[in-house]
Structure 1
Amino acid sequence: MDVTTYLNRINYSRSLEPNLETLHQLHYCHLLAVPFENLSIHLNQPIHLNLEALYHKIVRQHRGGFCYELNSLFSWLLQQLGFKVTLLSAQVAREDGNFGREFGHLTLLVKDTESWLVDVGFGDSFLYPLKLENSTEQIQKREHYKLINNDETWIFYYKKEGDYKPQYCFTLTPRNLTDFQTTCEYNQTSPQSIFTRSRICTKATPTGRVTLSDNRLIITQNGQREEHTLNTEAEYNKTLQDYFNINLGY
């Protein structure tokens, strides 16, 4: 890995000391620069969990990815900078109140004097790491989060419309990247996977979020939402370029 090129990709030029402030700023910069997207699946481009290949796609080709890609590559960067990082398996919450399959989401644990949940691959989520602390309400830019410990399982909650709703659960069992390959393949091929049903490209902005969901461009700024419909594929590709700096003809 060329660390400098990666840092340029996420527009990071501050301290490289492996401390909490650096971790917070790297996390924030990553979310503002690298989109959560599943475009490779709809372009019939197989996703292999190979760090060199992911580095080429996300850093050199200026693309994004989904959790297996974004968090695994970010963990590699953090390790290069001297952070202690563990890959964790998470199960995503379903509408029926249950949780999905094991390895359905890849998230990270980073330890310094304390432990932090780190995740740059869950779409619209926390901008800075969350302290692994039971039941403490953690507030970031008016958004409220909480981690609840239940025996060996932790559940990540996000407050929406006044109520805390589960997003995913996880244990602290260390995992290897290869452990996620089967579910990664499922998520990019199965008709039951949410990733095969529609195209998504989204990233945080300093004032909100910009999202391209199929042919809808959704821009949220300071709590105000605008939505525009894109009528042609050419318009879609231009929007990808203009808002995400993604050129699919790269």
Structure 2
Amino acid sequence: MNPAQTDAYLRRLGAKRPAAPTVDALRELHRRHLQTVPFENLSVHLGEEIALEENRLLDKVVGARRGGFCYELNGLFGALLAVLGFDVELLAARVYGDGGRLGIPYDHLALRVRTVDGAVWLADVGFGTHSHYPLAYEERGEQEDPGGTFRVVASGPDAADLDVVRNGQPEYRLETRPRVLGDFVAGAWWHSTSPVSHFTRSLVCSRLTDDGGRITLSGRGLTVTGADGTREVRELATDDEVLAVYRERFGIELGAVPTVREPA
């Protein structure tokens, strides 16, 4: 990522280049990313390739002002943090599903980030509803965040992995071995093609709002959740309404309303 690309990415986030890779800078970038870059799977249903290559991701997220899912969002955010001087490692995780079943290997990508003071953080801007700020990676007690009460606990065979728990429910199991972005290509392919992946069965576009709530468009269903947990749900009646929400609430310009695409 060259200096011009870095500056463009920071403008996309509405953030200034931090003077040093501090925890305060990490927290600010993390929150702004969640507020400005949507978690979305539109590419799956628009027939667009999920390309886990830095320049392709920059073209999508920064150039086209789109969002993406975990591999894209955390993969690119990790590259930005590294350029800004943070020590960043990519970690693989398996997401907990119905009945406590774990998903496929390389099901999710999260970031282990070390700040200038030596503290280690778990950053994740690609999980949808999650923590608003990075979690202390080595803390094993409860961590309060606007997104809920979190814990990072030893788990798995020989307690070699970590479970990330939100409000008492495990969200994903994190491996501690560092990975590279190319390791996640098969997971991205599976999630964008498998008929049993939730990404192929539904449309989602979601981001954190400035007041700490969340706005989500799923097909034609619009849900606005306040920071206090209140929810307003309504069905959008026309294509123009749907396109206006994508444009005005998510900054995404589309020529036609996306619909769920049947897996090949």
Report the TM-score when normalising by structure 2.
0.90
Q: Structure 1 stretches of 5 or more lacking a match?
A: none
The match for 2:141 is: 136
Note the C-alpha offset of 1:231.
2.1
| 1:226 paired to 2:210 | no
Q: Which of these residues, 3, 6, 26, is aligned with residue 3 of structure 1?
A: 6
| 1:145 paired to 2:153 | no
Q: Deviations over 1:62-97 (max 9, x none)?
A: 100000000000001001001100000000001111
AA of the residue aligned to 2:94: Q
Q: Which of these residues, 33, 36, 39, is aligned with residue 36 of structure 2?
A: 33
Secondary structure at the counterpart of residue 242 of structure 2: helix
Q: Deviations over 1:8-61 (max 9, x none)?
A: 101112633111111111101100100000001110111111110000100111
Distance 1:209 1:183, change over 3 A: same
1:10–1:30 contact (8 Å) kept in structure 2: yes
Secondary structure at the counterpart of residue 5 of structure 1: helix
1:134–1:149 contact (8 Å) kept in structure 2: no
Secondary structure at the counterpart of residue 132 of structure 2: coil
Cα distance in 2 for residues equivalent to 1:14 and 1:47: 28
The match for 1:172 is: 176
Note the C-alpha offset of 1:206.
2.4
Note the C-alpha offset of 1:142.
6.7
Secondary structure at the counterpart of residue 146 of structure 1: strand
Cα distance in 2 for residues equivalent to 1:14 and 1:82: 11
Distance 1:142 1:8, change over 3 A: closer
Note the C-alpha offset of 1:233.
2.6
The match for 1:193 is: 197
AA of the residue aligned to 1:65: G
| 1:114 paired to 2:119 | yes
1:88–1:172 contact (8 Å) kept in structure 2: yes
AA of the residue aligned to 1:235: E
Cα distance in 1 for residues equivalent to 2:216 and 2:84: 31
The match for 2:259 is: none
Secondary structure at the counterpart of residue 96 of structure 1: helix
The match for 2:15 is: 12
AA of the residue aligned to 2:145: Q
Cα distance in 1 for residues equivalent to 2:82 and 2:21: 9
| 1:46 paired to 2:54 | no
Equivalenced residue count is 246
2:130–2:147 contact (8 Å) kept in structure 1: no
The match for 1:236 is: 242
Bigger mean CA offset, 240-249 vs 47-56: 240-249
1:201–1:213 contact (8 Å) kept in structure 2: yes
AA of the residue aligned to 1:157: V
Task: Please state which structure has a larger fraction of its residues in strand.
Answer: 1
1:71–1:108 contact (8 Å) kept in structure 2: yes
The match for 1:214 is: 219
2:113–2:122 contact (8 Å) kept in structure 1: yes
Distance 1:57 1:249, change over 3 A: farther
The match for 2:261 is: none
Q: Which of these residues, 63, 67, 73, is aligned with residue 64 of structure 1?
A: 67
Cα RMSD over matched residues?
A: 1.4
Cα distance in 2 for residues equivalent to 1:17 and 1:132: 20
Q: Which of these residues, 247, 250, 253, is aligned with residue 247 of structure 1?
A: 253
| 1:155 paired to 2:163 | yes
Report the TM-score when normalising by structure 1.
0.95
